[in-house]
A and B are shown apart, each in its own frame.
Chain A
Amino acid sequence: MAPKNKIPLSDNTRANEILEVIMAFARQDFEKKVSIKNDDSVFDGIGAGVNMLGEELQHSTISLREKEQLLKEIHHRVKNNMQIISSLLSLQSESTEDEKFMALLRESRNRINSMALVHEMLYQSDDLSKIELKEYIVTLCTSVYRSYALPDSEIEFIYSIEKKAHFDIDKMIPIGLILNEAISNSLKHAFPKKKGKISVDLRSIKEKYTLSVSDDGSGFKKDFDPEKDSHLGIQLIYMLTEQLGGKLEVNNKNGVNYTITF
């Protein structure tokens, strides 16, 4: 004799069908639908609700994918436009022999490239809102180093970047520009013997991040006060630190060290 509360086989089949459709929706497969028998049963009600939720979910998913695609396209275009500006500056520098002017153009190009790299990495990443910091920093430092193309130099980069450190574009642009300025300064001034180390360190302490860029070079001149310096590079580091809502410390012991807490 069958137990009194046993669920009829047909009910089990219908419950399983509903479950299968829900699981398909979870896999973003919206082809399946619960069959509606029009028998005024509770399964019809649940099935109709599941079908309609699936339709809403499908349209939201499509709309989200379209927006992501559009955002990728925008990042791609911004990066391409920045590369065009950078190339124009490069062409401009070929038409001059003025060393100072060429240096200015190179600095501007590096600044543009540091921002273009953020857009490039954003459209290449799966998560459009964040990019992986270590990859960005290593690529940026390599690019800046190459731009100075110091012949026979032995400059070593040492990275200590916290794994899983991710930032959105609003943070990445100032971080990239700060790194660009600090590393450019080191490459230009710190190593008269073309030999030395540049360290980039990023770690989180409690709810704050600390970004530190150091070199073991000759350091600032004794009477040099970075806060009163009028060079654009240093001024930019101060301005961008402010943009990050952070605090900057500059040390001049055994080389130069910039530490930004934000």
Chain B
Amino acid sequence: MQIPKDAIEVKGYFTWMGNDGIARTCVKSGIDITLEIAQENSKVVNELICEKKFPMLIDSRGIKSMSYEARHHFSVRGRDTKTCAFAILIGSTLSRVLGNFYLGINKPAVPTKLFDNEEEATQWLKQFLN
């Protein structure tokens, strides 16, 4: 995933709004996602300028682990979010296990799908653009 220069950098992520109206966030390589890191990125995502709810592409291929609290936070249950769908890019063994676990156990409140391919993920997210 190509990270633009104007991407917002936080402790565990690079986050930006794409020209196509799809938000993107890329997990930094070898990172352990804690609740604090998760909340910091959610704050950035919710501050992205967009009048309506938007879909989001998440590149999780660099992830090392994600805590219980962070997984529950990302399930977006019981919290305000501007996102309306997640496409999660997986590739490494760890991202594959984490992605499947998150989808199977934490059951996010918005439509979510795992992808090996960025183009397919973007294509799938387009249906959620208003």
Q: Which residues of A contact B (CB under 8 A)?
A: 36, 38, 40-42, 44-46, 48-49, 51-52, 55-56, 58-59
Q: How far is the CA of A163 from the CA of B56 in the complex (A)?
A: 61
Q: How far is the CA of A41 from the CA of B96 in the complex (A)?
A: 12
Whether A48 lies near B68 (C-beta < 8 A) is: no
Whether B68 lies near A44 (C-beta < 8 A) is: no
| A49 nearest in chain B by CB position | B97
What DSSP secondary structure best describes chain A's contact surface? helix
Q: A38-B30, A40-B93, A52-B68 are in contact. List 15 more A-B contacts (CB 8 A).
A: A36-B64, A36-B65, A40-B92, A40-B94, A45-B93, A45-B94, A45-B96, A45-B97, A52-B66, A52-B71, A52-B97, A52-B101, A52-B105, A56-B68, A58-B68
Whether A38 lies near B68 (C-beta < 8 A) is: no
| B96 nearest in chain A by CB position | A45
Whether B71 lies near A44 (C-beta < 8 A) is: no
Query: Across the interface, which residues of A come within 8 angstroms of B97, CB to CB?
Result: 45-46, 48-49, 52
Whether A42 lies near B67 (C-beta < 8 A) is: no
Q: How far is the CA of A46 from the CA of B105 in the complex (A)?
A: 16
Does chain A have a CB within 8 A of B98?
Answer: yes
List residues of B (62-105) whose CB comes within 8 Å of A's CBs. Answer: 64-68, 71, 92-94, 96-98, 101, 105
Whether A55 lies near B68 (C-beta < 8 A) is: yes
Query: Across the interface, which residues of B come within 8 angstroms of A40, CB to CB?
Result: 92-94
Question: Closest Cβ of chain A: how far from B23's Cβ, in Å?
Answer: 26
Q: How far is the CA of A40 from the CA of B71 in the complex (A)?
A: 21
* Contact of B68 (CB < 8 Å), options: A36, A46, A59: A59
Whether B67 lies near A38 (C-beta < 8 A) is: no
Question: Closest Cβ of chain A: how far from B123's Cβ, in Å?
Answer: 27
A52-B71, A56-B68 known; A38 and B105 CB under 8 Å? no
Whether B105 lies near A56 (C-beta < 8 A) is: yes
Whether A38 lies near B101 (C-beta < 8 A) is: no
Q: How far is the CA of A21 from the CA of B101 in the complex (A)?
A: 18
Whether A48 lies near B98 (C-beta < 8 A) is: yes
A-B contact pairs, 7 of them (CB 8 A): A38-B64, A44-B93, A45-B94, A48-B94, A48-B98, A52-B71, A58-B68
Binary flags per residue of B18-58, CB closer than 8 Å to A gives 1, else 0: 00000000000010000000000000000000000000000
Query: Across the interface, which residues of A come within 8 angstroms of B64, CB to CB?
Result: 36, 38
Question: Closest Cβ of chain A: how far from B9's Cβ, in Å?
Answer: 21
A36-B64, A36-B65, A38-B30 known; A49 and B93 CB under 8 Å? no
Whether A36 lies near B105 (C-beta < 8 A) is: no
Q: How far is the CA of A42 from the CA of B66 in the complex (A)?
A: 18
Whether A42 lies near B93 (C-beta < 8 A) is: yes
